[in-house]
Every structure is written in structure tokens, then in C-alpha cells.
């Protein structure tokens, strides 16, 4: 009985903590802290996570958004995930949601649940408080790219392709090693 209660409690806690990340459609911007994003990056099924901190009052942010969304459409099926985090004030969140909808964002997006400096110090101690800011992480949570200002999309694309290729190569090596171990076993 105690074990069932403990398991039920754990299930409830996990479901409450992860509900914002499990939402399939963009149903509004969900508040996100740096700790939550860090946990998402490290535990995500994504092979590459691209995080973009942006705002509706930022012209370069709005200009690069269609390219980022296209990148997600292209690399999402291959294991990349784009995480959009709005730095807009609470008064401007509806405007941010409308912009994302106009841009064709069909996945859950977020807004800062803490001050921008506090949020970014988790990822970059010397962040110059500039948006857009884009970061890319591999599946181990290691940062593989960091851009202040409008991201050079060709450079970001190369980072994503490189990370996905390394992962595919590592998976192939592991598979080959497994096959080799199987074939080198003596027959019974």
C-alpha cells in the first residue's frame, strides 16, 4: 500500500512539473525559468536543442524568426528542437503570441518567468543583455553554439548538421561494435 501511494505521489509530481513541456500545440506562451530550460535541454528527446531568446520589439528577432521556424521544419524530423523564449513584458505577451501564430509557429513556446539577466546567467555569465540571443546544445546538454544578435542561419545550420552527423556516426559505431561482439561469440 505504501509503495502505491509513493508511486502515485511521484507520478503526480512529475506530471505537474512536466505539463508545460508536454503540450503538443502552441496554446499560449508558457512561463519558463532557466532551471526548467536547463532540465528540458538535458532530458529532452531532442538530439539538438536550439534556444532563441527574442522579443516583439526587436526588429532582428522578428526578421530571423521565419528562418528559425524553417530550420525547425527541416531538422525537427531529424531530432532537432527549437525552443522559443519571449523576453516580452507580461503586457505584451498577447502580441508575442500573435506574432508567433503569424510566423507559423505550431509548437509550444515560452516566455521568461524571471528577469532576463537571471535567466541567462545559467547559460552565459557575461551575457550582454542583447536579443536575439541563440544557443544550440547537443543531446548531452553541452553548448555547441552561441550567437548574440541575428544568428547567421548558415552557421547555425552547419552546427545542427554537424551535431546530428556526429550522433549518427556514434550510433553506427555502437551498432557495429554490438554486431562484432555477437559475431565473435563462439557457437553453442
Instruction: Answer whether residue 28 shows pLDDT above 80.
Output: yes
Q: Is 45 exposed, middle or buried (0-12, 13-18, 19+ CB in 10 A)?
A: exposed
| For residues 135-150, average pLDDT | 95
Tally of domains within the chain: 1
pLDDT digits (tens, 9 = 90+) for 89-140: 999 999 999 999 999 999 999 999 999 999 999 999 999 999 999 999 999 8
In a domain, 71, yes or no: yes
pLDDT digits (tens, 9 = 90+) for 30-45: 999 999 999 999 886 7
CB atoms within 10 A of CB 169: 10
Q: Which pLDDT score, from 0 to 100, does residue 86 have?
A: 98
Percentage of the chain exceeding pLDDT 90? 69
In a domain, 66, yes or no: yes
CA distance 56 to 64: 12
DSSP string, 19-40: HHHH--S--SPEEE-HHHHHHH
The range of the structural domain enclosing residue 155 comes to 22-181
- Residue 10: pLDDT band (50, 70, 90) is very low
The pTM of this model reads 0.78
> Quick one: cell of 85?
523564449
Q: Which pLDDT score, from 0 to 100, does residue 178 have?
A: 59
In a domain, 118, yes or no: yes
Instruction: Answer whether residue 176 shows pLDDT above 80.
Output: no
Of residues 45, 86, 46, the one with CA closest to residue 65: 86
In a domain, 187, yes or no: no
Higher pLDDT, 103 or 26: 103
In a domain, 120, yes or no: yes
Higher pLDDT, 177 or 77: 77
Which CATH number do you get for residue 125?
Answer: 3.40.30.10
Of residues 97, 94, 119, 123, the one with CA closest to residue 108: 97
Higher pLDDT, 116 or 8: 116
Amino acid at each position: 500500500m505504501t509503495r502505491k501511494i509513493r508511486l502515485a505521489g511521484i507520478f503526480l509530481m512529475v506530471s505537474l512539473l512536466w505539463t508545460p513541456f508536454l503540450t503538443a500545440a502552441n496554446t499560449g506562451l508558457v512561463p519558463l525559468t532557466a532551471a526548467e530550460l536547463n532540465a528540458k535541454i538535458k532530458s529532452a528527446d531532442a538530439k539538438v536543442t536550439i534556444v532563441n531568446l527574442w522579443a516583439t520589439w526587436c526588429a532582428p528577432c522578428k526578421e530571423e524568426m521565419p528562418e528559425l521556424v524553417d530550420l525547425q521544419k527541416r531538422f525537427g524530423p531529424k531530432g532537432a528542437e527549437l525552443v522559443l523564449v519571449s523576453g516580452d513584458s507580461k503586457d505584451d505577451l498577447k502580441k508575442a503570441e500573435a506574432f508567433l501564430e503569424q510566423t507559423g509557429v505550431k509548437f509550444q513556446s515560452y516566455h521568461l518567468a524571471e528577469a532576463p539577466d537571471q535567466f541567462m546567467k545559467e547559460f552565459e555569465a557575461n551575457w550582454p543583455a542583447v536579443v536575439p540571443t541563440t544557443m544550440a546544445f547537443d543531446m548531452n546538454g553541452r553548448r555547441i553554439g552561441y550567437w548574440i544578435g541575428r544568428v547567421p542561419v548558415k552557421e547555425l545550420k552547419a552546427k545542427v548538421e554537424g551535431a546530428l552527423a556526429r550522433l549518427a556516426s556514434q550510433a553506427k559505431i555502437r551498432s557495429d561494435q554490438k554486431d562484432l561482439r555477437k559475431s565473435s561469440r563462439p557457437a553453442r
